[in-house]
C-alpha cells in the first residue's frame, strides 16, 4: 500500500490525498465530490498530523492526485483544516502548504477560502508559491518580499518592508502564512519546508 506521507524536507512532510484515498480509505476513485467523503478525508489527514506530533512544523497537503474537487470537499478538506489549526487552542503548532493543479482545484479552493476569510500558501506546480485567498495589498506585498527573501531577520522588517513592516510580518504569522522563530526572525513556509530545523 502506498504511504500517503512523503517528506518534502526536514521541517515538513507531505500528505498525498490521492494516495490516502486509494490506500488507507479504500475509496475506489480519487474524486472529492461529496461532503461526507471530504469529512472522512479531512479526519484521516488530522490523524496523520496527530501521529506526526510536533516533530515537523509544516505539512504539505498534496491534492495533485485528486481528479475532481467540488466546493463542499474543498470546504471540508482545506478550509476546515485551516480553521482548526488557526486559533491558539489548535491541536498542534502546524503550518500548511497546499499543492494543487490550478485548473482542477484552484477555483473551488479559492472560492471557499474567500467565503471563510482564510488564506494559504499554494504551489500550483509552476515552480512558484502563491498566496491564495483574501489578503490586503500590503499583506500580499509583505508576503512576496518574505517569499523572495526566504527569511527576514529580527529587526530587518522595517528596512525590507517599509514603515509598519513589523506589524505586517506579525499579521502574516498570526494568519499562519509565515513562521516566526524564537529569536524574532520570520521564514517563508516554502523555505522552511526545505531547510534544517528552525531555531
DSSP run (H or E) holding 47: helix 35-52
**Pairing verdict, β 178-180 and 186-188:** antiparallel
The upper half-sphere exposure of residue 160, i.e. CA atoms within 13 Å in the direction of its Cβ, equals 23
- Could you tell me if 128 and 178 lie in one domain? no
| Domain range enclosing 197 | 135-199
- Could you tell me if 14 and 97 lie in one domain? yes
- Could you tell me if 51 and 62 lie in one domain? yes
- Could you tell me if 127 and 46 lie in one domain? yes
- Could you tell me if 128 and 140 lie in one domain? no
Task: Give the Cα separation of 53 and 95 in Å (integer).
Answer: 13
Over residues 70-75, the mean pLDDT reads 96
- Could you tell me if 166 and 146 lie in one domain? yes
Q: What is the largest CA-CA distance in the chain?
A: 54
- Could you tell me if 56 and 97 lie in one domain? yes
pLDDT band at 50 (very low <50, low <70, confident <90, very high): confident
- Whether 178 has a pLDDT exceeding 60, the answer reads yes
- Could you tell me if 4 and 80 lie in one domain? yes
Mean pLDDT of the chain: 88
Query: pTM to 2 decimals?
Result: 0.86
Q: Give 109's contacts (C-beta < 8 A, 6+ positions apart).
A: 69, 74, 78, 98, 100, 122, 132
Helix residue spans in 53-178 (DSSP H): 71-74, 80-84, 107-116, 137-149, 157-161, 165-174
Name the domain boundary from 101, 117, 134.
Answer: 134
- Could you tell me if 130 and 147 lie in one domain? no
- Kindly provide the b/e burial profile for residues 4-21, where b requires at least 16 CB atoms within 10 angstroms of the residue's own CB: bbeebbebbbbbbbbbbb
Name the domain boundary from 134, 158, 175.
Answer: 134
- Could you tell me if 127 and 144 lie in one domain? no
Name the domain boundary from 134, 152, 180.
Answer: 134
- Could you tell me if 169 and 107 lie in one domain? no
- Whether 2 has a pLDDT exceeding 50, the answer reads no
Q: What is the count of structural domains for the chain?
A: 2
Q: Give 190's contacts (C-beta < 8 A, 6+ positions apart).
A: 97, 121, 123, 129, 147, 150
Rg (CA), the chain: 16
Over residues 168-187, the mean pLDDT reads 94
Task: Give the Cα separation of 118 and 82 in Å (integer).
Answer: 8
pLDDT band at 30 (very low <50, low <70, confident <90, very high): confident
- Could you tell me if 188 and 142 lie in one domain? yes
More confident residue, 199 or 154: 154
Amino acid at each position: 500500500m502506498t504511504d500517503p506521507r512523503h517528506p518534502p524536507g526536514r521541517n515538513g512532510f507531505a500528505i498525498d490525498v490521492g494516495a490516502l484515498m486509494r490506500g488507507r480509505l479504500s475509496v475506489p476513485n480519487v474524486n472529492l465530490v461529496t461532503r461526507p467523503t471530504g469529512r472522512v478525508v479531512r479526519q484521516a489527514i488530522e490523524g496523520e498530523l496527530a501521529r506526526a506530533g510536533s516533530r515537523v512544523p509544516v505539512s504539505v497537503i498534496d491534492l495533485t492526485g485528486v481528479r475532481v474537487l467540488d466546493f463542499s470537499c474543498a470546504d471540508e478538506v482545506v478550509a476546515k483544516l485551516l480553521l482548526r489549526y488557526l486559533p491558539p487552542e489548535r491541536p498542534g503548532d502546524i503550518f500548511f502548504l497546499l499543492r494543487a493543479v490550478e485548473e482542477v482545484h484552484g477555483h473551488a479552493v479559492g472560492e471557499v477560502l474567500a467565503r471563510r476569510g482564510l488564506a494559504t500558501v499554494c504551489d500550483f506546480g509552476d515552480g512558484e508559491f502563491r498566496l491564495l485567498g483574501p489578503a490586503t495589498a500590503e499583506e500580499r506585498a509583505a508576503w512576496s518580499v518574505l517569499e523572495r527573501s526566504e527569511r527576514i531577520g529580527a529587526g530587518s522588517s522595517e528596512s525590507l518592508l517599509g514603515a509598519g513592516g513589523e506589524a505586517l510580518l506579525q499579521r502574516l504569522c498570526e494568519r499562519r502564512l509565515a513562521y516566526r522563530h524564537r529569536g524574532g526572525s520570520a521564514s517563508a513556509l516554502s523555505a522552511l519546508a526545505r531547510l534544517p530545523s528552525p531555531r
